Chains A and B, each alone.
Chain A
Amino acid sequence: MIKRWLIIAPVAIALAWVCSFTAQPRIDRIRAPQTLDEALLYLPNEKLLTHFTAGMSSIVADLLWLKCVQYTALHFISDRKFTWLNHMCQTITRLDPYFVSVYRYGGMFLASLDANDDASLRLLHAGMKRNPRAWELPYEAAMVYLLNRRSEPGAQETAAAYLGMAVATGNAPRFVVEVAQGLLNKHNLVDIEKGMWEAMLKSDNELMRDLAERKLLELSARETCRKLNEAVQVFAQRYGRMPQEINELVSGEILVSLPQDPLGGQYFLDADGVVQNTSLLDTEIERHAVALRRAIDEFKAGNGRWPQHLDELVQRGLVAEMPAYPYKDRTWKYDPLTGALE
């Protein structure tokens, strides 16, 4: 009987250890990116907390977050000093690295309430590393640059880049996409914008993929416009005058042929001699029209009548400023009786 002990027990234990030695490294490898990299940045006692919460770390993170929110609210009302906010956010995200809300709102509080944009950005970066698909985090980082650091040179470009990252996650809501595009366009950050759309092509969302495809075509159209503008300059240099219409670029032997517009529109020269693309302009019309339409309806809801003219929207603060009609030779057509817009 004793012999059996000596044989079976070690075999069973050895079997278990064989499983452990094969499985554990693979498990650790799959999990590794989350736990091991920032071990040296944090104080030892915080790390210990993670270990000994015995599998309850996610719950403890929830409860600590509640405390953190209360702490913030309390000090917002009283002395506006948020000494522990940063520490709390770090501890919470250590316990639960995927807790996106903490990175986001913690970052927001740190930047807007505590005026500590460095801590905010550090927190947001940590969050972005662990949660690459969370659009909220680069979005908040962009906001930090747009709000806290707006006077810094290059702030807008950095913000635009962050917004591009937000959109690239593929999950960003519509308004973020629009703001991102607007900012990237404004600062001509074509590469970033292109990267953003290309990342969007891989999105799960079909709408997003279609949008990305179209936007990439628009980008290439814009690029073509720019090249055509260069061609116009060459023309001007050679012939000492601006071309009257775009076909002159071909007949003047600057270009072999006019490029096709993949969007189905046309390239033409506007009154100022700048190359434009009809599809791009049409898209812009649509974009502004949607915003104006919304403002007009809001006006009607608030005041019970259609606005007399579009400037009323600006006066009432529903629109920051009247957008220029994309085609420079035309303007917005508005009928105050029916509220219709073209």
Chain B
Amino acid sequence: MRVLAVASNTFREAVRDKVLYVLLFFAGVTILGSKALGWISIGQDIKIVKDISLAAITVFGVLISIFVGTSLIYKEIDKRTLYTILCRPLHRYEFVLGKYLGLSFLLALVTGVMTGVACVYVIVLGGTLDGTFFEAILLIYVELLLITAFAVLLSAVTSPILGALIVFSLFVLCNATNILIDLPQQVKGTGFKQVLETIYYLVPNLSNFDIRAEAANGRAVPAAYILWTILYGAGYTVMLLVLASLAFQDKDV
């Protein structure tokens, strides 16, 4: 119950953040403007709309998750709203979890709104929506939850700007981890290859969550894939939240 109190407060405060609405506005513009690109290509204007919608949901979702997430705990410390809360009989990890949940609700809402706009737009343009489209959005949301957990961890230990930079850099790098598997095929020597492969398994592979190409082209994705990927994301998310709670446990405020 305490966790939910913190979560609901976090949600209400984040919803007031003007940055949120600016980002949503630009997401909307991007999605609606995608038709323009469709006019100057051959044979795939609906595909472009779907592509851009999914990309907009991803990019703006990541931006919100990074910018709001990294400042989440830091803002509380800076503005000292934290003092009267942490002296209450709640565990410190309950506070971290509450913040995280609040932000997760916000992201769900934001994702839902952008999805709604995209769906309506696709239907209006005469395209069809299949299951893969929504599965892609589901996986994007799971990815956002993972990134947010990492942002919350960083917000407990460092300043928002540094935190944002770190999360963003790791976001780009972790999308490229497949390189650890592909490149070694051109490199001789199995020892080095083994090391790279091990690193591949240890570092989160964000490209698992990327079924946007399949969704835009209307290809079906097996349910097993979705489930395994969700398990994968859940594992790392839980780890990051545990680390965030530990980091915050003894922090001086």
Q: Which residues of A contact B (CB under 8 A)?
A: 1, 4-5, 8-9, 12-13, 15-24, 26-28, 30-31, 35-36, 39-40, 44, 47-48, 51-52, 54-59, 61-63, 65-66, 69-70, 96-101, 104-105, 131
Q: Does B130 contact A (CB under 8 A)?
A: no
CB distance from B12 to the nearest CB of A (A): 30
Q: Are B225 and A31 in contact (CB under 8 A)?
A: yes
B231 cross-chain contacts in A, Cβ below 8 A? 19, 22-23
Q: Decide: B41 and A65 in contact? CB cutoff 8 A.
A: yes
Query: Are A62 and B186 in touch, CB under 8 angstroms?
Result: no
Which residues of A lie under 8 Å from residue B52 when comparing CB positions?
Answer: 59, 62
Contact between A26 and B228, CB atoms less than 8 A apart: yes
Binding site for A on B (CB under 8 A): 37, 40-44, 47-48, 51-52, 54-55, 58-59, 171-172, 175-176, 178-179, 181-183, 185-186, 200-202, 204-208, 210, 212-214, 216-217, 219, 222, 224-225, 228-229, 231-232, 234-236, 238-239, 242-243, 246, 249-250
B221 → A minimal CB distance (Å): 8
| Chain B residues with CB below 8 A from A57, complex form | 210, 213
Complex: A52 Cα to B225 Cα, angstroms: 23
Known: A1-B250, A99-B217. A20 touches B238 (CB 8 A): no
The interface residues of chain B lying within 8 Å CB-to-CB of A97 are 213
Task: State which of B51, B214, B239 has its C-beta within 8 Å of the C-beta of A59.
Answer: B51
Question: When chains A and B are docked, how far (Å) is the Cα of A31 from the Cα of B213?
Answer: 12
- Contact in complex: A19, B42 (CB < 8 Å): no
Given A23-B232, A39-B182, verify A54-B204 contact (CB < 8 Å).
no
Candidates A23, A44, A55, A96; contact of B206 at CB < 8 Å: A55
Closest to A25 in B: B201
Which residue of A8, A55, A61, A105 contacts B207 across the interface (Cβ within 8 Å)? A55
B235–A98 contact, CB under 8 A?
no
Interface hub of B52, B200, B235, B242 (most chain A Cβ within 10 A):
B235
If A16-B236, A19-B235, A26-B224 touch, whether A52 touches B172 (CB-CB below 8 Å) is yes
Chain A residues with Cβ under 8 A from B229's Cβ? 23, 27
List chain B residues, Cβ under 8 A from A56.
55, 59
Supply 5 A–B pairs (Cβ within 8 Å), ascending by A: A54-B172, A57-B213, A62-B44, A62-B51, A69-B41
Shortest Cβ gap from A65 to chain B (Å): 6
Given A12-B243, A98-B214, verify A58-B225 contact (CB < 8 Å): no
Q: A57-B213, A98-B214 are in contact. Are A35 and B182 (CB under 8 A)?
A: yes
Bound: A105/B47 CA distance, A: 15
Q: Which residue of B lies closest to A66 (CB)?
A: B41
- On chain B, the residues within 8 Å of A59 by CB distance are 51-52, 55
B30 to chain A, nearest CB (A): 10
Give the CA-CA distance A28 to B210 in the complex, in Å: 13
- Interface SS majority for chain B: helix
Q: Which residues of A contact B225 (CB under 8 A)?
A: 27, 30-31
**Bound CA span A58–B202, Å:** 26
Check if B202 sits within 8 Å of A20, measured CB to CB: yes
- Chain A residue nearest to B239 (CB atoms) is A16
Q: Contact between A36 and B208 (Cβ–Cβ < 8 Å)?
A: no
CB <8 Å contact, A23 and B235: yes
- Closest B residue to A108 by CB, please name it: B42
Instruction: Determine if B47 and A19 form an interchain contact, defined as CB atoms under 8 angstroms apart.
Output: no
Q: How far apart are B169's CB and chain A's nearest CB, in angstroms?
A: 11
B164 to chain A, nearest CB (A): 16
Tell me the smallest distance from the CB of B241 to a CB of chain A, in Å. Answer: 8
Q: How far is the CA of A8 from the CA of B37 in the complex (A)?
A: 51
CB pair A20 B246 closer than 8 Å: no
CA distance A278 to B79 in the complex (A): 91
Known contacts A36-B182, A52-B172; decide if A58 and B216 are in contact (CB<8 Å).
yes
| Shortest CB distance A330–B (Å) | 45
Contacts known (A8-B242, A30-B222); A44 close to B201, Cβ less than 8 A: no
A13 to B246 Cα, complex, angstroms:
12
Q: Give me 9 other A-B pairs in contact (C-beta within 8 A), A39-B186, A55-B210 excluded.
A: A12-B239, A16-B235, A20-B202, A20-B235, A23-B228, A27-B232, A36-B182, A62-B47, A63-B37
| Contact across chains for B186 and A44 when beta carbons are under 8 A apart | yes
Which residue of chain A lies nearest to B242 when distances are taken between CB atoms in the complex?
A12
Identity of the chain B residue whose Cβ is nearest the Cβ of A104 in the assembled complex:
B43
Contact, CB under 8 Å: B249 / A1: yes
Q: A54-B172, A59-B55 are in contact. Are A100 and B246 (CB under 8 A)?
A: no
